[in-house]
């Protein structure tokens, strides 16, 4: 063994779980020397599996563990003698790992939130927090002594993914956790106390905000019935915006109506008092002139008329709807004009203006409606129809009105119909015809009763003769009849 080692082991650093290789090129000798390895001065047990020699003497340790750390020495010997290499230190480091990973958090706005992140390794890792989008809530965020991330007074904008990164010289590891910030429901519009007439119409508006968006539903104090958005309960309906509409108000509807807002973040409620006044003897408004079906060319204009009156009391309020959606000054295109007299004017007609237009007259005693279709067409050959101006109509007023109870008859002006016959469920009416009016198309007879809980009911339309029989009336009930030309 006259020569020195060709290759000697050197100090090596390796991460736990990886593979370490300590080199050793033994000297030549005669007879050929045998090579052994020592660890910390003791012979090393080379099992041939995890720890083995390769390439003539190099020591390979697979899946290095912390107890493999120590001083290694390569020894060559034969019958003549032996030689020892210098000692080499194997340093085993541990990649970062988590003893406690951050967990997803769901919190209410304004609360304090803490993300735990306990990391270990050798050497001890450096722990750094970041947000997935890079926008940490500066001024409200801090790193605690145990490397936890703490956010004060969390806001909706703090929602996101937070990442804990642990790093040392042999590697890095990260864990993620999400933050969801909820806010309890708050009301942006509260219902107001209302007064409504019996059989009338009333709307109570209610809307709430929050995160997530709360569900809005209604209830009545003393009742277990819940009324949810886009659902009806008898004569009550709650639309998608949370407005409660009561069509045909009844005495039992009086009391406190409660608007409730509910989400996973909490609940809130507000109530309004509904007072029901009795106007049982008054019918809903009478629409004397309503819109007519029209087919008009593109880029022309149209005027839709609506004239209504109340048998008694204040004039009714007029509103317009297109395909069931109310037209208001806030959502009208500039081409639309709602005049104080109830007319709706549309300039520069477009194809999207086509639809069913409804004139609605509302008062404390109820609601009446009159609908007509508007069809906008293009092309010179399309058939057109424009309704004449109502001011040119020879007769636009009621030609009679009559209040009566079956068997007992009470008649009011302007002109007197004749009761030909009355039974407990029918009434025969006649009236004077104006035979000199050549423009007369026919008569329309309508009736209303407080016991029916409906608006005006058309008994007959375009009656050619000045008399008719109204059947299927309710016995012992009051009716109001009107006639139109």
Global pTM reads 0.48
Domain boundaries, the chain: 12-94, 101-183, 190-277, 286-392, 418-484
So what's the architecture of 12-94 in CATH? Answer: Sandwich (2.60)
Per CATH, the homologous superfamily of domain 190-277 is Immunoglobulins (2.60.40.10)
Q: What is the pLDDT of residues 103-112, one digit of tens each?
A: 999 999 999 9
* pLDDT tens-digit series, residues 139-193: 999 999 999 999 999 999 999 999 999 999 888 999 999 999 999 999 999 999 9
Q: Which tokens sit at 269?
A: 């409620």
- Per-position b or e across 149-169, b if 16+ CB within 10 A of its CB: bebeebeeebebebbbbbbbe
* Whether 270 contacts 353, CB under 8 Å: no
Q: How far apart are CA 470 and CA 427, in angstroms?
A: 5
CATH topology of domain 286-392: Immunoglobulin-like (2.60.40)
Task: Give me the CATH topology for the region 418-484.
Answer: Immunoglobulin-like (2.60.40)
8 Å CB contact between 336 and 345: yes
Domain 190-277 shares a fold with domain 286-392: yes
CATH number 2.60.40.10 is the correct assignment for the domain at 101-183: yes
The answer to whether residues 230 and 239 touch, using CB atoms and an 8 Å cutoff, is yes
Return the minimum-mean-pLDDT range out of 69-73, 252-256, 372-376, 410-414. Answer: 410-414
The mean pLDDT value for 444-470 works out to 81
Give the number of other Cβ atoms within 10 Å of residue 199's Cβ.
29
Which tokens belong to 455? Answer: 């608006």
Q: What is the mean pLDDT of residues 59-66?
A: 94
């Amino acid at each position: 063994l006259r020569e020195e080692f060709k290759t000697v082991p050197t100090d090596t650093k390796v991460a736990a779980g990886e593979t370490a290789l300590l080199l050793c090129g033994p000297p030549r000798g005669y007879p050929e020397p045998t090579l052994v390895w020592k660890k910390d001065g003791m012979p090393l047990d080379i099992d041939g599996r995890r720890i083995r020699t390769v390439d003539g003497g190099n020591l390979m340790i697979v899946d290095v563990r912390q107890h493999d750390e120590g001083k290694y020495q390569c020894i060559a010997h034969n019958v003549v003698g032996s030689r020892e290499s210098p000692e080499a230190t194997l340093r085993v480091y541990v990649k970062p790992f988590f003893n406690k990973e951050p967990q997803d958090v769901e919190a209410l706005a304004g609360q304090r939130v803490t993300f735990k992140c306990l990391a270990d390794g050798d050497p001890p890792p450096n722990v750094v927090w970041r947000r997935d989008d890079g926008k940490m809530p500066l001024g409200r965020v801090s790193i605690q002594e145990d490397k936890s991330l703490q956010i004060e007074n969390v806001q909706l904008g703090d929602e996101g993914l937070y990442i804990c990164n642990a790093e040392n010289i042999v590697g890095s590891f990260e864990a993620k956790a999400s933050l969801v910030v909820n806010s309890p429901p708050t009301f942006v519009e509260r219902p107001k106390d209302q007064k409504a007439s019996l059989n009338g119409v009333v709307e109570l508006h209610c809307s709430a905000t929050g995160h997530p968006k709360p569900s809005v539903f209604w209830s009545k104090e003393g009742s277990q019935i819940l009324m949810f958005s886009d659902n009806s309960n008898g004569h009550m309906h709650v639309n998608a915006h949370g407005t409660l509409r009561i069509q045909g108000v009844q005495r039992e509807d009086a009391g406190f109506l409660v608007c409730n807002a509910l989400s996973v973040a909490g609940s809130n409620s507000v109530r309004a008092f509904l007072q029901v006044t009795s106007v049982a003897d008054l019918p809903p408004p009478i629409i004397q002139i309503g819109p007519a079906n029209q087919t008009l060319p593109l880029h022309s204009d149209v005027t839709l008329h609506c004239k209504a009156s109340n048998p008694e009391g204040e004039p009714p309020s007029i509103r317009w709807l297109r395909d069931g959606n109310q037209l208001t000054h806030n959502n009208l295109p500039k081409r639309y004009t709602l005049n104080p007299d109830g007319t709706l004017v549309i300039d520069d007609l477009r194809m999207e203006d086509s639809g069913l237009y409804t004139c609605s007259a509302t008062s404390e005693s109820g609601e009446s409606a009159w609908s007509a279709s508007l069809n906008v067409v293009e092309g010179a050959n399309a058939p057109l129809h424009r309704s004449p101006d109502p001011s040119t109509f020879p007769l636009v007023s009621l030609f009679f009105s009559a209040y009566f109870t079956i068997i007992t008859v009470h008649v009011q002006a302007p002109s007197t119909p004749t009761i030909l016959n009355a039974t407990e469920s029918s009434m025969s009416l006649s009236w004077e015809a104006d035979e000199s009016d050549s423009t007369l198309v026919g008569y329309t007879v309508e009736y209303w009763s407080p016991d029916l809980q409906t608006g005006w009911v058309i008994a007959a339309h375009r009656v050619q003769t000045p008399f008719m029989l109204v059947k299927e009336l309710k016995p012992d009930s009051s009716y109001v009849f009107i006639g139109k030309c």
